[in-house]
């Protein structure tokens, strides 16, 4: 394939996440290897932060970036992780679609790909085939390297049949770029409106802070769970992997730092199992359940507390052993 043809395919692939030059089954068999084309999007994201040299830093833009970090961290944890990956609560088909759309604004690819990769992580945690195990592949590969490898890009729809049967979710998964388009448009409009009210900001300043800087921090905050949560922290449970609990990681990821808890029991909506284990994602989901938009939040099962220490029985009841196997029914009002 010549350069022009490769560039053409890379451009189409940037717009269509299901576009590949080889069949997905073949790509998944390839060795892990950094792809220069895949690095480009990360380079653009990080270099975009340098725009601050030209646009400066206004208070409204900085606070917008901070707010978007935490709001979208909730989308990653409360939507992509605790709903699409583990189905720890239920919702209607319409809200499921809206949540998927909101999730695409996190610029972490589509909801079905995210859930597929994540369920694979739980099934093969810290085994050689685990795409982002720091134990197997080292810190940098677990943090960002694995995302630059073509091998990890195709979504295996056969492994997420409970989600893939919704055409609207497949569409969002395929064209997840819509999240970036939406976010950039809203930020440009927000910046222009504020400026029209006499506030010292601009559409470009809002885009640099709200999109590039906020999304870069959001990526690294999320990636810390892959690269650090299997290395640093305490192990309450002797799970089959090296997952750990970390207060610091829980703070920057709104509760995902209780990763050893989560590997012990993936099917519960809570990751902080005790009141002192701060879990903001759970608090927000709990508040949302009072509105009726979501329901059926799965509590921490008794067996988790019954065997709270490492010297307790290691194997949870069969139906709880994989989050992906629990509660993967359709939305109740679908
Ligand atoms: Zn893990
Ligand atoms: Zn998980």
pLDDT digits (tens, 9 = 90+) for 63-102: 999 999 999 999 999 999 999 999 999 999 999 999 999 9
- Nearest-ligand number for the alpha carbon of 83: 2
Q: What is the mean pLDDT of the chain?
A: 91
> Which among 218, 273, 269 has a CA at the least distance from the CA of 69?
218
Q: Quote the ligand 1 centre to 178 CA distance (angstroms).
A: 28
Q: Residue 308 — very low, low, confident or very high, per pLDDT cuts 50/70/90?
A: low
Q: Which residue in the block uniquely carries the two structure tokens 């922290």?
A: 233
- pLDDT for residue 320 is more than 80: no
> pTM of the predicted model, to two decimals?
0.91
State how far the Cα of 153 lies from the Cα of 18, in Å rounded to an integer.
9
Q: Quote the ligand 1 centre to 113 CA distance (angstroms).
A: 16
Q: Quote the ligand 1 centre to 275 CA distance (angstroms).
A: 22
For residue 3, the model assigns a pLDDT of 74
Q: Quote the ligand 1 centre to 255 CA distance (angstroms).
A: 14
Q: Quote the ligand 2 centre to 241 CA distance (angstroms).
A: 13
Q: Which two tokens stand for residue 213?
A: 């800087």
Q: Answer whether 156's CB lies under 8 Å from 322's CB.
A: no
For residue 67, the model assigns a pLDDT of 98
Mean pLDDT of 89-118: 98
Mean pLDDT of 17-37: 90
Residue 154 CA neighbour count, 13 Å, CB half:
17
Q: Residue 312 — very low, low, confident or very high, per pLDDT cuts 50/70/90?
A: very low
For residue 310, the model assigns a pLDDT of 47
- Nearest-ligand number for the alpha carbon of 142: 1
Q: Quote the ligand 2 centre to 37 CA distance (angstroms).
A: 28
Q: Quote the ligand 1 centre to 128 CA distance (angstroms).
A: 14
- pLDDT for residue 322 is more than 70: no
- pLDDT for residue 311 is more than 70: no
Task: State residue 117 phi and psi, 5-degree precision.
Answer: -60, -40
Q: Quote the ligand 1 centre to 271 CA distance (angstroms).
A: 12
Q: In whole angstroms, how far apart are CA 259 and each of 52, 139, 229, 279, 328?
A: 34, 17, 6, 11, 21
Q: Answer whether 131's CB lies under 8 Å from 146's CB.
A: yes
State how far the Cα of 232 lies from the Cα of 260, in Å rounded to an integer.
11
Task: Provide, rounded to the nearest whole percent, the portion of the chain with pLDDT above 70.
Answer: 91
Q: Answer whether 179's CB lies under 8 Å from 171's CB.
A: no
Q: Residue 34 — very low, low, confident or very high, per pLDDT cuts 50/70/90?
A: very high
Which has more confidence, 49 or 319?
49
- Nearest-ligand number for the alpha carbon of 257: 1
For residue 21, the model assigns a pLDDT of 86
For residue 328, the model assigns a pLDDT of 38
């Amino acid at each position: 394939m010549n350069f022009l043809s490769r560039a053409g395919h890379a451009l189409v692939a940037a717009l269509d996440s299901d576009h590949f030059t080889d069949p997905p089954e073949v790509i998944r068999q390839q060795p892990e290897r950094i792809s220069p084309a895949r690095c480009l999007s990360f380079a653009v994201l990080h270099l975009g932060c340098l725009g601050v040299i030209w646009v400066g830093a206004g208070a409204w833009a900085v606070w917008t970036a901070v707010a978007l970090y935490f709001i979208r961290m909730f989308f990653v944890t409360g939507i992509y992780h605790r709903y699409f990956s583990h189905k720890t609560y239920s919702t209607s088909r319409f809200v499921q679609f809206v949540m998927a759309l909101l999730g695409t604004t996190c610029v972490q690819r589509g909801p079905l790909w995210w859930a597929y990769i994540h369920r694979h992580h739980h099934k093969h945690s810290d085994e050689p085939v685990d795409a982002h195990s720091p134990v197997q592949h080292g810190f940098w590969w677990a943090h960002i390297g694995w995302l630059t490898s073509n091998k990890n890009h195709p979504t295996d729809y056969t492994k997420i049949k409970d989600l893939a049967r919704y055409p609207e979710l497949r569409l969002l998964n395929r064209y997840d770029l819509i999240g970036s388009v939406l976010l950039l448009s809203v930020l440009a409009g927000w910046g222009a409106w504020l400026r029209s009210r006499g506030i010292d900001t601009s559409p470009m300043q809002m885009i640099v802070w709200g999109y590039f800087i906020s999304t870069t921090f959001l990526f690294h905050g999320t990636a810390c769970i892959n690269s650090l949560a299997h290395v640093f922290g305490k192990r309450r449970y002797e799970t089959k992997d090296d997952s750990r609990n970390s207060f610091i990681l829980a703070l920057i990821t709104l509760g995902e730092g209780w990763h050893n808890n989560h590997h012990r029991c993936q099917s519960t909506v809570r990751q902080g199992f005790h009141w002192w284990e701060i879990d903001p994602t759970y608090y927000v989901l709990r508040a949302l359940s009072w509105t009726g938009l979501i329901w059926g939040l799965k509590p921490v099962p008794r067996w988790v507390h019954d065997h709270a220490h490492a010297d307790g029985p290691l194997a949870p009841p069969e139906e709880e052993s994989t989050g992906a196997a629990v509660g993967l029914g359709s939305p109740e009002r679908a």
